[in-house]
Structure 1
Amino acid sequence: MSERSPNLNMPYLQPAQAQKHVTHNEALQQLDALVQITVQGFDATVPPGAPANGERHALGAGATGAWAGQDGSLASWDGIAWQFIAPGEGWQAWGIGESERRVFTGGAWSRPPVAQLGINSAASSTNRLTLASEATLLSHDGGGHQVKINKAAAGETASLLFQSGWTGHAEMGLAGDNDWRLKVSADGSSWTEALVIDRSSGLASGAAVQSTAGDTTPGRLMRADFGYGPGNLVGTVAQSGGMPSGAVMETGSNGDGAYLRWADGTQICWGVKPHGALDIQSAAGGGFGSAVITENFPQVFAAAPSVTLSVVCTSGDHDGWAALTGCTASQFSLQHLKLSPTVSQDRELHFQAVGRWY
């Protein structure tokens, strides 16, 4: 018969043994150290200076002093000396300093994995962590804090599902691919993708975003390329299929004058054309003189516009005017008229044309 027990390694009383109380008391002392194990702390390495009777520690690597060479042991103070007990696989102990339970496995005291945890509610094989509470607080431990939801592959789901009466009505996250999606449902069965953010470009799409420039559905978010703001009020106007696709208005000028284009297709051109000493002579003693001139618009119209002309004399007498004689999408012709006297006059031609650029 063995002299020690197989699990707790306690001494057995032997036949005809003298002073049986010594062996018996040793076994009781060891039971007192091992049953309902509570230790001051885990991974201890330095013995306390004045331990209390029955005080226990779970030793870590590099133990010193009276604990030297006892790494991994349970150290129990019996009032006179430290007693060392080698823990077995699966032993459990409560750490007072850490306020937690640990299991001895693989030669070290480790926090036990929890297969399921229900807090004020029953956990299940699907909902392994279940909590019933009015609120949940996840706080930092000295810095920031992240909540991470990981999935096995791109085609799987990593999302937050919001329910009412155990029926889903909103979901956001990575559902079926790696684009971020926000979905809503009236009945928990049929779902609408309200917002999708492309994982590569960061651009938005979905039922909550304008589908075309002409989409004025109430409640939809305006796309930057369909709407107007400080960044695109003035720029290059454009159109596609009769719908504006550029800035609200475009302005510019060149040697033929200035122009203003609107996104709706309206175009206005204007300018002043100095003609210098335009010699339009009338017959001696009176009558008319005339000259025909052709000018270009600063921008081409889609069709011949409506043109208004005026003449300003800058020297000489001031009788004279201009008459439009022809107009195309790109230029107009006019005839200067002048009454007597028969002298040259410096004059300016002022024009304004209104039409469409598409």
Structure 2
Amino acid sequence: MKPAIFGGNTPPLSPGVSVRVYQAGTAVLATVYDFASGLAIDQAGLPLVADALGRFSFTADAGQMVDVKIGGEGTAADLAYNGGAARWFKNYPMVDPKSYTPDNVLGAVSQAGGVPTGAIIERGSNANGEYIKFADGTQICTKTGGAVQFVNSSNLNFPWTYPASFVSMPFVVGNIKDVVLAVAKDLHVNCYEANTTNAFVSVLSVAQFVLEDAVGSMDALAIGRWF
């Protein structure tokens, strides 16, 4: 038995109205709705909750079809509801109760066995830059203004520790932001020794750098997976 939702947009319920849930023709849930508390009085060992929109949540087999019967049991409350006639919702598909709203789209992402269990998007930052994690496992890390250092006459770089680690080696690229270098110097931007936690973002030349060239900064981007 798994949590599932019935979302029938039912007519407003009155105190004491009965609710029956049938799966494969067998009643798996029988409750009486308590209008004052917004809850249902459990009569079958399984909880049911109804909200102001008339949506019920209860325990059944997710992915199965159920019949939901409201009223029609002959009690005083049922007789006062819908003229005593039952309202049936036949062959209603059960769905997983996990739903997203503007309140929970953003938050901490999580997963269990590769199945997302948390928010859709997680965003954060620290001294190493910013990161975005998505529920499908995608992760993007960025860094702006990484200060370059002189390594040797062929290499100016900044060592970048990602703001969030990856589960496997990501794709990493860099960009010269405001490094002032002579046009005559043969340059290209490279990232090397990248792993799941850090990379070197570099400007390379053919033995044309001097110590005074290590002025300015670079930007970097890494894309990979957090699970």
Which residue is equivalent to 2:222? 353
Alignment of 1:295-314 (within 5 A): 295-314=160-179
CA distance, structure 1, for counterparts of residue 202 and residue 64 of structure 2: 50
CA distance in 1, matches of 2:125, 2:159: 19
Query: Does the 8 Å contact 1:275/1:348 carry over to 2?
Result: yes
- 1:274 pairs with 2:112: no
The alignment's C-alpha RMSD in Å is 3.5
Q: Judging changes above 3 Å, is the alpha-carbon distance between structure 1 residues 335 and 183 closer, same or farther for their aligned structure 2 residues?
A: closer
Amino acid at match of 1:247: A
Q: How do 1:67-146 and structure 2 match up within 5 A? A: none
Of 11, 26, 49, which residue of structure 2 is paired with 1:191?
26
Rg larger in structure: 1
Q: Which consecutive unaligned segments of at least 5 residues does structure 1 have?
A: 1-145, 149-159, 161-171, 173-180, 283-288
The whole-number CA distance in structure 1 between the counterparts of 2:139 and 2:164 is 9
Say if 2:118 is the partner of 1:246. Answer: yes
Sequence identity (%): 22
SS at 2:177 equivalent = strand
Flag the structure with higher strand content: 2
Equivalent residues in 2 for 1:277-288, closer than 5 Å: 278-279=149-150, 282=153
How far apart are 1:330 and its partner, in Å? Answer: 0.9
- Structure 2 counterpart of 1:132: none
What displacement does 1:281 show?
7.0
Aligned with residue 336 of structure 1, among 195, 200, 203? 203
* Letter of the 1:241 counterpart: G
Kept after mapping to 2: 8 A contact 1:280/1:344: no
User: How far is 1:334 from its partner?
Assistant: 3.8
Deviation at 1:182, TM superposition (A): 1.9
Contact 1:297 1:331 in 2 (8 A): yes
Cα deviation code 1:36-64 (max 9, x no counterpart): xxxxxxxxxxxxxxxxxxxxxxxxxxxxx
Provide TM-score, normalisation by structure 1: 0.39
User: How much does 1:308 deviate?
Assistant: 1.2
Q: Answer yes or no: is the 8 Å Cα contact 1:309–1:322 preserved in 2.
A: yes
8 A contact 2:174–2:202 mirrored in 1: no
Aligned-partner SS, 1:336: strand
Q: What residue number does 1:219 align with?
A: 93
Asked if 2 retains the 8 angstrom alpha-carbon contact of 1:281 and 1:344, the reply is no
Q: Deviations over 1:75-103 (max 9, x none)?
A: xxxxxxxxxxxxxxxxxxxxxxxxxxxxx
SS of the counterpart of 2:102? coil
2:155 is matched with 290
CA distance in structure 1 between the partners assigned to 2:20 and 2:95 by the alignment: 14
2:187 counterpart of 1:325: no
Amino acid at match of 2:219: H
Deviation, 1:222, is 4.8
Superposed displacement of residue 249, structure 1: 0.7
Distance of 1:216 and 1:317 partners within structure 2? 70
Q: Separation in 2 of the partners of 1:195 and 1:267?
A: 46
* Residues 195-248 of structure 1: per-residue CA shift (max 9 Å, x gap): 8766588643134xx73xxx598733552xx22111111111111121111101
* Distance in 1, Cα, partners of 2:175 & 2:209: 20
Work out the number of aligned pairs and report it.
166
Give distance in 2, aligned partners of 1:329 and 1:147: 58
C-alpha separation between the residues in 1 aligned to 2:216 and 2:223? 23
Q: How far is 1:266 from its partner?
A: 0.8
Give the secondary structure class of the aligned counterpart of 2:163: coil
Among 189, 206, 212, the residue aligned to 2:59: 206
Give the Å deviation of 1:338.
4.1
* Preserved contact between residue 133 and residue 139 of structure 2 (Cα < 8 Å): yes
**Secondary structure in 1 aligned to 2:165?**
coil
Partner residue in 2 for 1:96: none
Any unmatched runs of 5+ in structure 2? 1-13, 32-38, 50-56, 66-91
